[in-house]
Amino acid sequence: MVIVMQAHATAVQLEQVLSRIEALGFHAHVSSGSERTVIGLIGDERPIETEVFEVLEGVERVVRILHSYKLASRDFHLEDRVIELPNGVRLGGSAVTVMGGPCAVESREQLRETAEYVSAAGVRVLRGGAYKPRTSPYSFQGLGEKGLRMLREVADEMGMAVVTEVVTPEDVPLVAEHAEILQVGARNMQNYRLLQACGEAGQPVLLKRGLGSTLEELLAAAEYVLSSGNEQVAVCERGIRTFETATRFTLDIGAVPVLKHMTSLPVVVDPSHAAGRADYVGAIARAGVAAGADGLLIETHPRPAEALSDGAQSLDPAAFRNLMDEVARVADAVGRTTTFAAAAGAA
- Determine the 3-state secondary structure of 250 from DSSP: strand
pLDDT in tens, 149-188: 999 999 999 999 999 999 999 999 999 999 999 999 999 9
Residue 138 banded pLDDT, cuts 50, 70, 90: low
Average pLDDT over residues 30-53: 81
Closest by CA to 131, choosing from 74, 58, 185, is 185
In 259-347, at which residue ranges do the beta strands (DSSP E only) sit?
267-269, 295-299, 337-338
Q: Contact at 8 Å (CB) between 98 and 125?
A: yes
In whole angstroms, give the CA distance from residue 343 to residue 41.
40
In a domain, 72, yes or no: no
Give yes or no: residues 336 and 272 share one domain: yes
- Give me the CATH number covering residue 49: 3.30.70.1140
Residues 6 or more apart in contact with residue 290 via CB below 8 angstroms: 330, 333, 334
Give yes or no: residues 47 and 87 share one domain: no
Q: Is the pLDDT of residue 136 over 90?
A: no
End-to-end Cα, the chain, rounded Å: 47
In a domain, 77, yes or no: no
In a domain, 71, yes or no: no
Give yes or no: residues 300 and 233 share one domain: yes
In whole angstroms, give the CA distance from residue 98 to residue 130.
19
Q: Contact at 8 Å (CB) between 83 and 302?
A: no
Give yes or no: residues 205 and 286 share one domain: yes
Residue 44 banded pLDDT, cuts 50, 70, 90: confident
Helix orientation angle between 255-262 and 278-291, rounded to the nearest 10 degrees: 40
Residue 345 banded pLDDT, cuts 50, 70, 90: very low
pTM of the model: 0.86
Average pLDDT over residues 42-66: 84
Domain limits for position 23: 2-63
Give yes or no: residues 89 and 54 share one domain: no
- CB burial class (10 A; 0-12, 13-18, 19+) of residue 114? buried
Which residue, 63, 98, 114, sits at the end of a domain?
Answer: 63
Task: Please state, rounded to an integer, the average pLDDT across all residues of the chain.
Answer: 92
In a domain, 251, yes or no: yes
CB count within 10 Å of CB 101 equals 30
Give yes or no: residues 198 and 277 share one domain: yes
Q: Contact at 8 Å (CB) between 296 and 99?
A: yes
Give yes or no: residues 38 and 143 share one domain: no
Lowest-confidence segment of 60-74, 80-94, 232-246 by average pLDDT:
60-74
Give yes or no: residues 23 and 165 share one domain: no
- Give me the CATH number covering residue 122: 3.20.20.70
Q: In which region does residue 251 sit, left (phi positive, over 0), alpha (psi from -120 to 50) or beta (all else)?
A: beta
Q: Contact at 8 Å (CB) between 122 and 341?
A: yes
In whole angstroms, give the CA distance from residue 52 to residue 221.
30
Q: How many residues does the chain have?
A: 347
Number of domains in the chain: 2
pLDDT in tens, 240-254: 999 999 999 999 999
Burial track 332-341 (b if 16+ CB lie within 10 A, e otherwise)? eeeebebbbb
Q: In which region does residue 266 sit, left (phi positive, over 0), alpha (psi from -120 to 50) or beta (all else)?
A: beta
In a domain, 75, yes or no: no
Phi, psi of 56 (to 5 degrees): -75, 145
In a domain, 6, yes or no: yes
The neighbouring-strand residues paired with 315 are 300
Give yes or no: residues 59 and 89 share one domain: no
- Per DSSP, 31 falls in state E
Question: Concatenated DSSP letters for 312-336?
Answer: GGPBPHHHHHHHHHHHHHHHHHTT-
In a domain, 283, yes or no: yes
Give yes or no: residues 285 and 197 share one domain: yes
In a domain, 276, yes or no: yes
Alpha-carbon distance values, 149 to 144, 179, 283, 298 (Å): 9, 10, 34, 21
Give yes or no: residues 322 and 266 share one domain: yes
Give yes or no: residues 142 and 40 share one domain: no
